[in-house]
A and B are shown apart, each in its own frame.
Chain A
Amino acid sequence: MARIGVFICWCGENIARNVDVERAAAQVAELPGVACAVAYKYMCSDPGQSLMRQKIVAERLTGVVVASCSPHMHLRTFRKAAAMEGLNPYLVEMANIREHCSWVHHDREQATAKAVELIGMAVAKVRCDHALQPIAIPVTRRAMVIGGGVAGIQAALDIADAGYQVVLVEREPSIGGKMAGLSETFPTLDCSQCILTPRMVDVGQHPNITLHTYSELEAIEGYVGNFKATICKKARYVDVKKCTGCGQCWNSCPSKKTPSAFDYNMGNRTAIYVPFPQAVPARPVIDRNACLHFLKGKCGICAKKCQAGAIRYDDEDQLVTEEVGAIVVATGFRLYSIGKEQSSDRTTGYGEYGYGRYPDVIDSLQFERLVSASGPTSGEIRRPSDGQVPKTVVFISCVGSRDNAKGISYCSKICCMYTAKHTMLYKHKVHDGQAHVFYMDIRSGGKNYDEFVRRAIEQDGARYHRGRVSQITEERGKLIVRGVDTLAGEPLTIEADLVVLASAMRSAGHVEELAQKLNVGYDEFGFLSESHPKLRPVETNAAGVFVCGACQGPKDIPESVAQASAAAGKVMVMFSHEQLTREPEIAKVNETNCAACFACVRACPYNAIDRADIRDRKGNIIKRTARVNQGLCMGCGTCVAVCPSKSIDLEGFTEQQVYAMLESLV
């Protein structure tokens, strides 16, 4: 027989003003199963909770209803208090008679009547409650970081320094990401490689980090704390263990005309190559689309030159599996493709700027390589068409960003800053040159950021024109940039030698496929969705999967690093426990009744329902059934609604409970 205690809160005057709490207590005391009903001024206060705990013991209560504020406010408080007296916390329910009653109904009679009904519904629910135990899940204390840019590096190092094993997966032959290709960084103008490459070396040498470069995540199974990742290590045709990174092979390779992806096609590389000299690991790969051995079956020079015997033309893609408990996604960004040809029909490109048609119209990452000391021109600014030093350079910001007509509505956030940086770097190298900037607004929020832009304008003489460029044409070796200066209210034409387009930041290619594998949400632009924009900025809706860096949205290096450390911190919190505990209010299958139609399997947004076999002692299959994976189920109940035989139910919100609540209203 149920013995339910009802505790009605006055909430000072908040409830008591419009609800006659004493009368309500007297009425609900008559309900079946109610052992006692009391009203108290502040149930959530210490004396209020003590009162509840005393009653639990004295009245030998089997369930509790607290009628007060929203369960989002205090359900946890009261469940905790009940647990202290040994009452299972899931036998405590709340009736919301403040937000949903006293605060919104000013007629005391009506409000009191409604409060009594709300309490009655909660009593009916508690009568059908049963004790639930938190679910314990073992944790593999090993993390996987996907993406080896500055964010991934930071996250991997933080987790590894905390003493946990990390598997770092990078698509390119070397870690380093976009930052490795940058020249100098705002707002301090310190050399990007000088600050990044030591950290890359730390990753390469860290005893707790397993590095898989030139690799991609093939498949993922499992759930929070217990993921099994299948990683495809692409064939390098070089035995990484034997190779010493001496450089004999790439220095003697006769195929030298492949555009270097690391230099954004501004320079060439050999067929066997390391993307850049400071690569980690400093081990080359062979590009089979450029290698004469693979194309024509000849050459083989690298194999002859290699004293370590590390060249392996018969190398193949390999699948390796790694067991990890948490995943950090740091896949970064790519730039908006400016040319007319577009991979997605959402974006339309800027045919009018002639990118791809005029060699001297380049994007911002290409300009970075042009000013980088390790770039194709060794840091001398020479334009791609004829190698001349450009005397007039036009920088155009917001190419793609904040332009609905071109398919992107958001601000890419970093372009104002790096454009100012570009004008400074240009002026520092070409003293008699003139930089022009076309901009919409200058957005330079951040520590020392606005001062930096002022310096570009005031000390380094960059001319800023507020307005857009309508067209770029080429005449007599000059680029004619036609735009408007909206502050002067005049059209403006500049004859430029080089044009640099600050194109929008987009999420990295194929990130949607990765997101689908991991069950992480993404927005219309392909940026991964955090669980809450303010309070859970690095968590995702997939438990155990975290995000950091530009894959989540446009951001600069300091922000990416901060977010990476935050994600690492979350992973460490997870790893600080031997087991994870999860809320037990999840779906449960009645395996005897289940007809194995698996409608629930298809409906589940978390892939949390498995097809399972029930076998007899001899191992013969007796029947098939759906079975809930307790590590994955988030308790939404979508499966319950689709089950035709009602063989699946949601703990805490069972069919019986909902019906009992309805019946209490009759």
Chain B
Amino acid sequence: MARNRTSPEEFARPIRRILIGLLAILLLALFMLWRIDSPRVERFRTALVDRVVPSFDWMLLPVTKAGDMVKGFQSYTKLYEQNQDLRQELQQMRVWKEAALRLEQENAKLLDLNQVRLDPKLTHITGVVLADSGSPFRQSVLLNVGARDGIRDGWAAMDGIGLVGRISGVGRRTARVILLTDSNSRIPVVIEPSGQRALLSGDNTAAPPLEFIEKPDMIRPGDQVVTSGDGGVFPAGLLVGAVAQGPDRRLRVRLSADYERLEFLRVLRSHDLEPLTDPGGLVAAPVPTEPYGPAPVPEAEVNAEAAEAGQDG
């Protein structure tokens, strides 16, 4: 067979081998570059995803919808049982709703009496889930909102009920949400009612385990898990799920968010907390900002005080 080949082939072969070697070295160099200077390459990746995935929106959405319809069709067979369950649940929910309304009114009254100021700045942006991570080993989704909608790294993403994940990687038109189940996800949480702090660390299973619990004895399965707000990026008090004990006796969290159908996600705008840099007035002598009574003060002194107050403020 080789005898039939004409001579140019014989010259081309070593050159081709060298070129292939160069290509392999180039690819490995890209990998090493990513390993050494990950943010730069990740930024390039985000930009690429931002360019490519939304342009396939027209294809992704209908196919996803069709898949959902097939799933829905399968559930028709269990319609009767589901109906009964839902009726029962609805009955229970009505009771809860009454209780919640009463509590809400009471709460509003008490807050009003105490003049508590809640953080009013928690607003949200809703995004549609465009794509999955595509690999069974990574748990993340891509939203169709990005930097142009004001999304920033580190913000929390929720579905209607519970926390879903954290924004990590923002392109112009898209943002990636690392789900709580991903093995890179670490979220500080508080377990109500005992107030124990812990770290919710994903491990690629449906129920991520709780780590670094101070007193595990004080926690019972069924306790509520909410975010603690430690670290300052996440807002505190977002519902995460309920504690459950796995067969391996580890404390895990059954997540409240419905991970089977993530369709719309709310991204909570959390504004940067203003850092407290001022030691406060206790160290130095307190400066009276407004004079009490009609004391006759020389004008120059008042001006100096005003200037000082202005500097402090």
Physical interaction between A and B: no
Q: Which residues of B contact A (CB under 8 A)?
A: none
Q: Which residues of A contact B (CB under 8 A)?
A: none
